[in-house]
Amino acid sequence: MALIVIDCCFLYPLVLHCVVQVINLTALHWNCRFERPDFPLKFSGASPLTGAVPYAQCYGGHQFGTWAGQLGDGRAITLGEILNSKSERWELQLKGAGKTPYSRFADGLAVLRSSIREFLCSEAMHFLGIPTTRALCLVNTGKLVTRDMFYDGNPKEEPGAIVCRVAQSFLRFGSFQIHASKGEEDLGIVSTLADYAIRHHFPHIENISKSETLSFSTGDNGQSVVDLTSNKYAAWIVEIAERTASLVARWQGVGFTHGVLNTDNMSILGLTIDYGPFGFLDAFDPSYTPNTTDLPGRRYCFANQPDICSWNITQFASTLMAAHLISDKEASYAVERYGTKFMDEYQAIITQKLGLQKYNKQLVNKLLNNLAVDKVDYTNFFRSLSNIKADPGIPEGELLVPLKAVLLDIGKERKEAWASWVQSYIQELVASGISDEERKASMDLVNPKYVLRNYLCQSAIDAAEIGDFGEVRRLLKVMERPYDEQPGMEKYTRLPPAWAYRPGVCMLSCSS
């Protein structure tokens, strides 16, 4: 068994919620190995934690816009919940440890390639400042797992692995949907589960005071009023909507595409959850999807993510309505708040990425159009943008010099289009009154130099599949500091090589 352990200082001291004993992990730090011989056994599921009763969660979901019925943790097993020294609740969950009651016809296992991808990306997202589940450790089981990666009738054996991931909760929209779908007899479970979630994960809502005056006008005429102090479930769905909106705005800011935004992959805590065929934008393409299954309609493409998550919020709100927990007016207000919150957050993020003081819709729209026309690398472009000087006297022939490395192979007409945009951008910079040095520093704090491109993941996977986990560790260390220059690590900013565009690298299925 090969073991990789990452930072879990946010967990210790661990008090296993369902047993009496205290597990001492205070010696465990970033990228070090844990010496206890039973650690790989405990965190692969081979040896149960004493006194614990592992369980798998039942949930349903809308998949690609259609109700799919009962799904559930087919290859995920929760070991238990823990409380750390701050009384924060954390759930330990193994992914790929074997069959669960919801595995259906599958084996409940996971392969090394998908496990490495989840392991690396959940940590990369965390250090980008994006809410996410975390990865505690990755165990290579030493056993082979049969998978048909492209669902084309050509299965093959691949190395198996198990990820131990952690979150304060793995409850999803689908955790509630499944019970509402079963009719009146199960609607009580929806309210019981909602009460549990609010009590443990939204305690501020449980304790809302009537004096807080959380009343809001809704609708075009502003005559309808929603009072969030009179119904905790209404306050709850509104907060879930706002957390989700904030999450998606951050995805759009770094060019992250989830790939499978079914309602069973939506966290009630507003976390990025279930890393499958994800991808960061290389060449900017609003219609980019990393999911081969999504190719016909591109439902979950990059540009659609905000609207899809709004649709998912609507489905979740409908579940709470079916359980008689919120009214139609309160459900509509939650969806309205999602839209408002997303636009506010997204505009603020783009404004920061441009180093401006206020949002300029025309400037942003023109920029995104230019990026799409010339298929410019999203990450490298924004990182380079901070090198432009707020000097309206720059000769026209020199305007694009700071962007030379990212504006590749464009002709005269496109150079003129970009020069026109840069001139408008410089005018905005001058109006902001911020010094070039101060602006560059602030822009480099929000425009990452390093993101987990799919080909970087694949290089680490290829090495790991022959027993070398060195590149996994190196890549992990680079992604720990995505906004820093990191001299000597520039190779991790390169554009994808030709081999990166083959199936199974740039685009993936859900097979794991």
Query: Contact 158/111 with Cβ under 8 angstroms?
Result: yes
Residues, the chain:
512
Under 8 Å between Cβ of 170 and 269: no
HEC string for 457-477: HHHHHHHHCCCCCHHHHHHHH
Compute the distance between CA of residue 467 and CA of residue 254 in angstroms, rounded to an integer: 32
The answer to whether 264 is a known catalytic residue is yes
Q: What are the residues facing 165 on neighbouring strands?
A: 93, 135
Query: Which one of the listed residues 7, 73, 264, 377 is annotated catalytic?
Result: 264
Rounded Cα distance, 360 and 309, in Å: 25
Two structure tokens written together for 455: 């080909």
* Structure tokens that stand for 495 in this block: 């554009």
Burial of 171 from C-beta contacts in 10 A (0-12 / 13-18 / 19+): buried
Instruction: Please write down the HEC assignment for all residues of 237-298.
Output: HHHHHHHHHHHHHHHHHHCEECCCCCHHHCECCCCECCCCCCEECCECCCCCCCEHHHCCCC
Query: What is the Cβ-side half-sphere exposure of residue 139, based on CA atoms within 13 angstroms?
Result: 23
Q: Which of 128, 362, 437, 403 is nearest to 253 (CA)?
A: 128
Strands 256-257 and 224-227: unpaired
Q: Three-class SS string for 184-212?
A: HHHHHHHHHHHHHHHHHHCHHHHCCCHHH
**Spatial distance between the Cα atoms of 84 and 120, rounded to a whole number of angstroms:** 24
Catalytic residues: 264
